[in-house]
Amino acid sequence: MNVNDSPHTNIDVALLSMPKCRRLPNEIISPLQYTNDIVNFDHWDHMFITNCCRSLTLYDFDGPPSTILDLGCGRGLWAIEAARQWQGSTVVGFDIESRQPRLNVLEKSVSRRLRWVQGNLLEQLPFLPGQFDFVRMVRMGLHIPEDEWPSVLAEIARILKPDGVFEVIEEDLLFPCQSPRSHDVTSTSGQSSGSSTQGSLADTVVTATSYHKSVSSLKVKNKNTSLDTFSGPSSTSLSSSSSLSSVLDAQLRHPKPPDPQDHSRLQRAWEEMLDTYFLSPQPLSVLPLYLSLSFSSIRSHPPLQIPLPRNSSDRQQLTSQHSISTVQLDPATLFELRALSAQPAAEADYSSRASVMTAGGERSMSSWACMHLARTVRTIVGCKESIWSAYERLYGEDPTPPVVRTTQQQKSSWCDRTSPTNPLRDYFERDWINWENDMADRTSIRGRMRAELTWCEPVGKPPDWRLWRNSLPQEDACSYREESAEYCRCLRGFVCFKS
């Protein structure tokens, strides 16, 4: 495939050959703290993909590959399964950390054909040219800076045999949340629903002593905040300092509490964190180009886009009006592969099989959606401290008055984690617990267990997310809106062939 004929980008390909690596030698790039919870969802992902593919791989091999490499193998679940199913194959699991099970605890028929290798994927791989028939890499977008994708893929091509197969499954690095609703001039919640960069802590209660600091901060910190934070979309018409002062005075006299469902500050911190690590928020949009630099033929399937599940209030309102449609994903067509170069012409029809919209335009929900959301949330929770560092960089100079808590918030567990010496951390923890409760409400695991397994409601105190949802004002709780779907996950696989 000629890169210059690629329909996916107009990037100057000549620039890609220039060294641009911003990482120091041997430096490890990852904001993620790998936990047992993430391991559990890795296992769930493995079951989901193998169920959809009815195989360990997207590509349907004529016979088992003899030499296999699993890059970023984690705990080694896939590598162990490959060694068990393909009894004539030799399997290598490669990862930065030694977290795989000891070989002596596995059956001998598996352990004698399986080995673990530790190393940094971003450095030269410790394997010979043409050593493997099949290389696999899954969800490494949080570990590979955008400027190093070409070199990583070139290394993979180097260690593949001629006619070898490389399979990569990747996803966009989404921060799941509902866009904040539009507000009028008196609102303090920020910009219209399409924005994700409106974050300023000034939408909370500001004390009179911080008034002048707020004005100066707004004038010099255009990157991190905007006049819309105080005055809404019509603030662009303010052309004098007296007008600005009158708007700020009105906000100080009649402050509104922050919207507990507005997670734009955390979303902005997530984006800032990715930018700090030079991680692409949408690797699915850049992978076609980078793959075409090292591989002669590429096949793919339509992106699997999972919509953000509705919150419990929306579900109740929809149930009273009409039933909520549920999409049962068809494993036979979900990951059907076609040549990547032919895909743009037929994308509309071909991708409809993985669509999240019904013919009538209503948002439909995959039966897997809640688990996909829980998987994405757990990944973001693993990046919490890195997100906090970005949050601190973004908002550290903003005025930080005491956080005003409702009665319900005062009972929440996040109050135990607040620091009297760092009010900014109070803001962060408040935003974080609001987001976590919102996401827990949307996953609705309890409701699904009652519906699917007829389990009774556990005796005792309701979960925190339900208390949080019930504490919202009525106008906030009924937040159902007809609008385009927002996603909690966007997943896609590519199968590449070395000439």
Q: Can you tell me the mean pLDDT for 384-400?
A: 87
Backbone angles phi and psi of 362, in degrees to 5: -75, 145
The DSSP H or E segment spanning 409 is helix 407-411
Q: Is 496 a residue whose pLDDT tops 90?
A: yes
**This prediction's pTM:** 0.75
- Residue type at position 476: D
The DSSP H or E segment spanning 392 is helix 384-395
Q: List, in sequence order, every beta strand (DSSP E) within 37-154.
A: 67-71, 90-95, 114-118, 132-138
Q: What is the pLDDT of residues 19-63, one digit of tens each?
A: 456 676 767 778 988 888 888 899 999 999 998 888 999 999 999
Mean pLDDT of the chain: 74
Q: What is the pLDDT of residues 129-157, one digit of tens each?
A: 999 999 999 999 999 999 999 999 999 99
Q: Can you tell me the mean pLDDT for 381-395?
A: 95
Q: What is the pLDDT of residues 438-470, one digit of tens each?
A: 999 888 766 665 655 666 766 777 777 777 777
Q: What is the pLDDT of residues 182-241, one digit of tens each?
A: 443 333 333 333 333 333 333 333 333 333 333 333 333 344 443 234 333 333 444 455
Q: Is 435 a residue whose pLDDT tops 70?
A: yes
∠ Cα 431 33 91 (to 5°)? 145
The residue among 263 and 35 whose pLDDT is bigger is 263
Q: Which domains does the chain have, with CATH numbers?
A: 3-174+277-301+492-497 (3.40.50.150), 181-258 (no CATH)
- The closest of 16, 128, 122 to 71, measured between CA atoms, is 122
pLDDT at residue 213 in the model: 37
Q: Can you tell me the mean pLDDT for 291-312?
A: 91
